[in-house]
């Protein structure tokens, strides 16, 4: 089948490549010249494990190609046109202007027998209008109506290839498909996927996508609340969740406590759902609490680092381990690290960060003035009064912590992802502070040494206590 995918961002590029891998003839259409140039020389605009190899293999096999937006043949010859343009305004809100412009340009040119599939995540109120928008555009140019379907994506950054190739489910939201042609085409597109195909109304499909992300966010905020209970009563949330995970009604995923969720999807979709629900006169107390707990976790991390260095960050040197919003990605969108770094700097700390994605780290430095980037974890830890782990890259669990201790000014780690082994850190001489891992330890005063700003000056009582 000939498929054209409009918009080669995260969702579009993964979709185009996955469909080509299944043997379809795929053309990717991209508006950004620089992105197009990169793709044409085999360079991906972002990091995603396994994707570059798959793009190269499919381009070489002649099943995948990339063209600019003015290539009308890419639209007119396709059996299925899939739109995957961005719908996030970059400021925490929805924007549908890009989708609207894309539809205006593409829909009139589509073949009469083609099917329009919308893959971007959109607000429900916009999805309700999609059928009329698309077929209104067809009427204007005197062409017959086309089927319009919503096919939400559930791919996670860092594991997008396997999420696409081996999905848990495929959701087919029917917006307008009077003779069933659209459903038949979409089923053919996905015939190699061994997953249940769930056919439903378009708005149901839209809310099934949003609902999944809202539930995942709720699980994370719940885990963070549980972590507070654990701290109060001296329990370890990691053990508690281990037991919960054996209950098939609950499952163990998305229950990692720590600095909370970031990225371009979960925070934005929770905030926007609260906002649009409130505009519609609906109270959504659970989602409001999910949002509040998440914001509190970032603040709590900063508070823990403050306590860890004796009550004031002023003049202290903090090492931040990890900047991307999660491991195996170079994405910094709404990364907790950025909020945290800004707060630490505002409080007078020197912040030296390291992330295995060095290019992402450099971008972080341009987003957070004053943030210093180190090119290894040990270099970031050198002379630090405390370390804060923000992203659970494997490299940090595997770090030689005894060596880390020898280069740090003070051996204190605040583990914002519960990714380290408290016993191992303890054995290496560290004070370990996690989230929900028993009673929060007090940092022993004897581990307080002069800070960078007070080098060579006797430690005052207030700097040495907490
Ligand atoms: C999320 C969904 O998981 C995907 O299914 C969805 O397709 C995608 O949004 C989207 O709407 O496009 P993603 O944003 O890639 O995917 O990230 P997640 O893996 O969901 O992680 C989100 C955040 O939650 C990360 O900051 C992660 O560190 C955090 N998290 C995750 C926790 O704090 N605790 C956990 O237990 C799990």
Per-residue pLDDT reduced to its tens digit, 248-305 = 999 999 999 999 999 999 999 999 999 999 999 999 999 999 999 999 999 999 999 9
Output the 3-class SS for 114-140: CEEEECCCCCHHHHHHHHHHHHHHHHH
Residue among 363, 396, 372, 390 at smallest CA distance from 452? 372
Query: In which band, very low, low, confident or very high, does the pLDDT at 449 lie, cut at 50, 70 and 90?
Result: low
End-to-end CA distance of the chain: 66
φ and ψ at 127, to 5 degrees?
Answer: -60, -35
Predicted confidence (pLDDT) at residue 464 exceeds the cutoff of 60: no
Query: In which band, very low, low, confident or very high, does the pLDDT at 439 lie, cut at 50, 70 and 90?
Result: confident
Predicted confidence (pLDDT) at residue 213 exceeds the cutoff of 50: yes
Residue 261 beta carbon below 6 angstroms from any ligand 1 atom: yes
pLDDT in tens, 339-389: 999 999 999 999 999 999 999 999 999 999 999 999 999 999 999 999 999
The residue whose CA is least distant from atom 16 of ligand 1 is 156
DSSP state of 248: T
Helix/strand/coil for 160: helix
Going from the Cα of 146 to the center of ligand 1, the distance in angstroms, rounded, reads: 34
Residue 21 beta carbon below 6 angstroms from any ligand 1 atom: no
Determine if the pTM surpasses 0.85. Answer: yes
Helix/strand/coil for 431: strand
Burial (Cβ within 10 Å: 0-12, 13-18, ≥19) of residue 193:
middle
Residue 156 burial (CB count, 10 A): 15
Going from the Cα of 63 to the center of ligand 1, the distance in angstroms, rounded, reads: 31
Residue 213 beta carbon below 6 angstroms from any ligand 1 atom: yes
Given ligand 1 and candidates 18, 171, 263, 415, which is best to mutate, with the most ligand atoms within 8 Å of its CB? 263
Going from the Cα of 217 to the center of ligand 1, the distance in angstroms, rounded, reads: 8
> Catalytic amino acids?
265
The residue whose CA is least distant from atom 18 of ligand 1 is 156
Do 226 and 219 form a contact (C-beta atoms < 8 A)? no
Going from the Cα of 29 to the center of ligand 1, the distance in angstroms, rounded, reads: 27
Ligand 1 atom at minimum distance from 220 CA: 34
Going from the Cα of 155 to the center of ligand 1, the distance in angstroms, rounded, reads: 9
Residue 365 beta carbon below 6 angstroms from any ligand 1 atom: no
Predicted confidence (pLDDT) at residue 101 exceeds the cutoff of 70: yes
Query: In which band, very low, low, confident or very high, does the pLDDT at 442 lie, cut at 50, 70 and 90?
Result: confident
Q: What is the pLDDT of residue 385?
A: 98
User: DSSP strand E in 211-338: where?
Assistant: 317-321
Torsion of CA 424, 449, 445, 233, to 10 degrees: -40
Beta bridge partners of 199: 172
DSSP state of 49: T
- As a whole number, mean pLDDT of residues 317-327 equals 98
Cα distance between residue 110 and residue 177, in whole Å: 16
Cα distance between residue 118 and residue 145, in whole Å: 16
Going from the Cα of 263 to the center of ligand 1, the distance in angstroms, rounded, reads: 7
Distance (Å) of CA 196 to CA 14, 62, 168, 193, 199: 20, 29, 7, 9, 10
Residue 430 beta carbon below 6 angstroms from any ligand 1 atom: no
Predicted confidence (pLDDT) at residue 455 exceeds the cutoff of 50: no
Cα Rg of the chain, angstroms:
25
The residue whose CA is least distant from atom 31 of ligand 1 is 254
Given ligand 1 and candidates 151, 156, 298, which is best to mutate, with the most ligand atoms within 8 Å of its CB? 156
Residue 86 beta carbon below 6 angstroms from any ligand 1 atom: no
Residue 167 burial (CB count, 10 A): 19
Q: What is the pLDDT of residue 446?
A: 55
φ and ψ at 327, to 5 degrees?
Answer: -70, 165
Given ligand 1 and candidates 14, 150, 212, 213, which is best to mutate, with the most ligand atoms within 8 Å of its CB? 213
* Span of 39-43, 93-97, 207-211, 458-462 with lowest mean pLDDT: 458-462
Do 449 and 268 form a contact (C-beta atoms < 8 A)? no
The residue whose CA is least distant from atom 25 of ligand 1 is 261
On average, the pLDDT of the chain sits at: 94
Cα distance between residue 276 and residue 317, in whole Å: 41
Ligand 1 atom at minimum distance from 209 CA: 11
Q: What is the pLDDT of residue 463?
A: 28
Going from the Cα of 261 to the center of ligand 1, the distance in angstroms, rounded, reads: 7
Predicted confidence (pLDDT) at residue 222 exceeds the cutoff of 70: yes
């Amino acid at each position: 089948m000939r498929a054209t995918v409009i918009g080669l961002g995260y969702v579009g590029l993964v979709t185009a490549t996955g469909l080509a891998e299944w043997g379809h003839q795929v053309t990717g259409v991209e508006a950004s010249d620089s992105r197009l140039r990169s793709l044409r020389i085999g360079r991906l605009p972002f990091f995603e494990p396994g994707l570059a190899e798959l793009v190269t293999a499919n381009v070489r096999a002649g099943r995948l190609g990339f063209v600019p937006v003015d290539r009308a043949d890419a639209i007119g010859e396709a059996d299925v046109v899939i739109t995957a343009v961005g719908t996030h305004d970059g400021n925490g809100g929805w924007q549908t202007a890009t989708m609207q412009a894309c539809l205006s340009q593409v829909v009139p040119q589509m073949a009469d027998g083609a099917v329009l599939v919308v893959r971007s995540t959109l607000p429900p109120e916009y999805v309700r209008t999609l059928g009329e928008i698309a077929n209104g555009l067809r009427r204007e140019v005197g062409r017959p109506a086309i089927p319009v379907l919503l096919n939400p994506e559930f791919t996670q950054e860092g594991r997008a290839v396997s999420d696409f190739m081996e999905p848990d489910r495929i959701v087919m939201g029917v917006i307008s498909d009077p003779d069933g042609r659209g459903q038949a085409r979409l089923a053919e597109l996905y015939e190699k996927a061994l997953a249940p195909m769930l056919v439903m109304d378009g708005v149901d499909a839209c809310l099934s996508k949003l609902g999944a992300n809202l539930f995942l966010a709720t699980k994370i905020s719940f885990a963070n609340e549980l972590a507070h209970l654990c701290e109060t009563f001296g329990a370890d949330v990691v053990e508690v969740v281990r037991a919960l995970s054996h209950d098939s009604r609950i499952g163990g995923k998305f229950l990692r406590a720590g600095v909370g969720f970031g990225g371009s999807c979960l925070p934005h979709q929770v905030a926007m759902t609260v906002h649009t629900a409130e505009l519609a006169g609906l109270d959504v107390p659970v989602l409001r609490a999910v949002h509040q707990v998440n914001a509190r976790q970032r603040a709590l991390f900063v508070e823990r680092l403050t306590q860890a260095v004796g009550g004031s960050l002023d003049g202290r040197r903090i090492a931040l381990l990890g900047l991307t919003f999660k491991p195996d990605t170079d994405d910094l969108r709404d990364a907790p690290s950025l909020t945290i770094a800004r707060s630490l700097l505002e409080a007078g700390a020197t912040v030296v960060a390291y992330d295995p994605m060095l290019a992402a780290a450099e971008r972080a430095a341009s987003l957070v003035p004053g943030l210093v980037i180190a090119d290894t974890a040990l270099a970031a830890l050198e002379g630090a009064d405390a370390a804060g782990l923000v992203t659970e890259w494997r490299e940090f669990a595997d770090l030689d912590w005894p060596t880390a201790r020898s280069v740090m000014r003070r051996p204190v780690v605040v583990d914002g992802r519960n990714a380290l082994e408290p016993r191992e850190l303890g054995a290496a001489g560290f004070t370990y502070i996690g989230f929900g891992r028993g009673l929060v330890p007090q940092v022993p005063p004897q581990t307080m040494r002069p800070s960078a700003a007070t080098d060579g000056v006797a430690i005052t009582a207030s700097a040495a206590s907490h």
